[in-house]
Chain A
Amino acid sequence: MAEVNKQAIQDYATRLGDDAVVIGHRVSEWCSKGPFLEEDLALQNVALDFIGRARMFYSYAAELANDGRKEDDFAYMRDHREYQNLLLMELPRGDFAYTMVRQLLVDVFNLYYLEQLQQSSDETLSAIAGKAIKETRYHLRRSSEWVLRLGLGTEESKKRAQTALDDLWGFTHEMFDLDALEQQLADAGIGVDNTSLQAAWTTQVKSILEEATLIPPEDEWKVKGGREGYHTEFLGQMLNEMQCVHRANPGLEW
């Protein structure tokens, strides 16, 4: 098995933290704007799960960095060019259909991803995955039920779900890419080989879409760049909002 240095694992944990904190923040934007009370609560609980997941990944990155930084420094003191989350996570929350369709695409991905990460030879990554996957199963149950409800609901809900799907589809390909860092860690039995997840993801997503009478888009366009720090304009705006309190009051705790 190839030798992997600590820096590589730290970078890997950091980008997994980035994915989780960015989607968690997007979901949290629904606070007090959910379509009804129970759904509002549910969205906040899902957001909390993702933010908790980000804390675990960032804490591990901080532990490996061992340079005095803490989890908060990873979340609040890095700029958008340093963030390496997948673009799919940062897109604005859109309408409710857009949010739920994205959650479905992300939840199915997380299910397979975390299953593999649980097999990691790195004990901490495996432990975080073991914890997160239980929550992901609940997230997926909910997002797939919502997509069915939207697809089989009214003409309007179906139209919105289909539009969301068409807008999001081109961003899903990035989930199955493997850059040099990920390749190195996959070879070492530490990271996940994302390319191996695509077939199972596609089958499961398409079967849910079919049941919801939504049409899976053709693979006509692909956007990527998140893992290299190239983002849409929306991430910078989101981070501005997410980081401003911490940056205005550095080191403040309550």
Chain B
Amino acid sequence: MTDIIPLVSAAYSDRLSRRTESAIPEVWNLLDEVKDPEIPALSIWDLGVLNGVEQQDDEIFISITPTYSGCPAMGTISDDIGRVLSQSGYSRFSIKLLLAPAWTTDWMSPEGRIKLREYGIAPPENCQQGACQKIACPHCGSTNTETISEFGSTACKALHRCQDCDEPFDYFKSI
């Protein structure tokens, strides 16, 4: 497989600075334990869902942004955040769902893209509204691939097939 040079989007660097400049980095780090229930290789940070961690007095305020409108994972993610916080002794916290700005795959972390590929899912390409023709196969790296369906096992993925190694694979759609 060819070397992958992760490109950092402007949207991602905004998120990153919110994390690196935070007064409570330990809470951000703690929430790395919360994974996407459908793609357990990705933390909610990697996925771009975790967007704010703040503290006022003794209360922690968490902001998360839903991926797709009908994504059934958001309930589980909120529950998991609550559990991780409680287990670490944080008793007062609230979780807020942010609708705007709308979640975009540009928020995904560069590490998340690599983890996604290693997990067998082609990471989102930076192209306009999924008009990408050349999606690299996560198994062999070939770009000789075709779309089978715009929707795969979940709303965020499309189904593709590699014409070199003949393997079908999920592509995490750019949105």
Binding site for B on A (CB under 8 A): 38-39, 41-42, 45-53, 55-56, 123-124, 126-128, 130-132, 134-135, 137-138, 141-142
Task: Give the chain A neighbours of B151 by CB distance below 8 A.
Answer: 38, 41-42, 45-46, 138, 142
A135 near B150 with CB under 8 A, answer no
**A38-B159, A123-B100, A124-B99 in contact; A132/B69 too (CB < 8 A)?**
yes
B89 at interface by CB-CB < 8 Å: no
B101 near A130 with CB under 8 A, answer yes
From B69, B148, B154, give the contact of A52 (CB < 8 A). B69
A138 near B70 with CB under 8 A, answer no
Task: Give the chain B neighbours of A138 by CB distance below 8 A.
Answer: 130, 150-151, 173, 175
A39 near B149 with CB under 8 A, answer yes
Task: Give the chain B neighbours of A134 by CB distance below 8 A.
Answer: 102, 175
- Report the number of A-B residue pairs with Cβ-Cβ less than 8 Å: 75
Cβ proximity bits B153-168 to A, threshold 8 Å, 1 near / 0 not: 1110001000000000
A52 near B71 with CB under 8 A, answer yes
B69 near A127 with CB under 8 A, answer no
What residue of chain B has the Cβ atom nearest to residue A124's Cβ? B99
B159 near A56 with CB under 8 A, answer no
A137 near B99 with CB under 8 A, answer no
Determine which residue in A41, A123, A142 has the highest number of CB atoms from chain B within 10 A of its CB, and name it: A41
A142 near B150 with CB under 8 A, answer yes
Instruction: State the CA gap A38–B151 with chains docked (Å).
Output: 7
Task: Give the chain A neighbours of B101 by CB distance below 8 A.
Answer: 130
Task: Determine how close the nearest CB of chain B comes to the CB of A91; give it in whole angstroms.
Answer: 22
Instruction: State the CA gap A52–B67 with chains docked (Å).
Output: 11
**A50-B70, A52-B71, A131-B69 in contact; A41/B149 too (CB < 8 A)?**
yes
Mostly, the B contact residues are loop
From B68, B103, B150, B159, give the contact of A141 (CB < 8 A). B150
A53-B69, A55-B70 known; 13 new pairs, CB 8 Å cut-off, are: A38-B149, A45-B155, A46-B151, A47-B70, A48-B155, A49-B68, A49-B155, A52-B70, A128-B99, A130-B102, A131-B100, A135-B68, A135-B69
A42 near B129 with CB under 8 A, answer no
B152 at interface by CB-CB < 8 Å: yes
Task: Determine how close the nearest CB of chain A comes to the CB of B115; give it in whole angstroms.
Answer: 23
Mostly, the A contact residues are helix
B72 at interface by CB-CB < 8 Å: yes
Instruction: State the CA gap A141–B103 with chains docked (Å).
Output: 20
A56 near B154 with CB under 8 A, answer no
A52 near B68 with CB under 8 A, answer yes
B69 near A55 with CB under 8 A, answer yes
For this complex, 18 residue pairs linking A to B, each with C-beta atoms less than 8 Å apart, are A38-B149, A38-B151, A45-B155, A46-B151, A47-B70, A48-B69, A49-B69, A50-B70, A53-B70, A123-B100, A124-B99, A128-B99, A130-B102, A131-B103, A132-B69, A135-B68, A138-B150, A138-B151
B residues 122-165 near A (Cβ < 8 Å) are: 129-130, 148-155, 159
Cβ proximity bits B98-110 to A, threshold 8 Å, 1 near / 0 not: 0111110000000
B70 near A49 with CB under 8 A, answer yes
**A48-B72, A52-B68 in contact; A41/B100 too (CB < 8 A)?**
no
Task: Determine how close the nearest CB of chain A comes to the CB of B93; give it in whole angstroms.
Answer: 21
Instruction: State the CA gap A52–B148 with chains docked (Å).
Output: 25
Task: Give the chain B neighbours of A48 by CB distance below 8 A.
Answer: 68-72, 155
Task: Give the chain B neighbours of A52 by CB distance below 8 A.
Answer: 68-71
Instruction: State the CA gap A105–B104 with chains docked (Å).
Output: 26
Instruction: State the CA gap A46–B152 with chains docked (Å).
Output: 11
Cβ proximity bits B65-79 to A, threshold 8 Å, 1 near / 0 not: 010111110000000
Task: Give the chain A neighbours of B129 by CB distance below 8 A.
Answer: 137
Task: Give the chain B neighbours of A127 by CB distance below 8 A.
Answer: 99-100, 102
The 7 closest A-B pairs by CB, nearest first: A52-B70, A52-B69, A48-B70, A127-B100, A42-B151, A38-B149, A127-B99
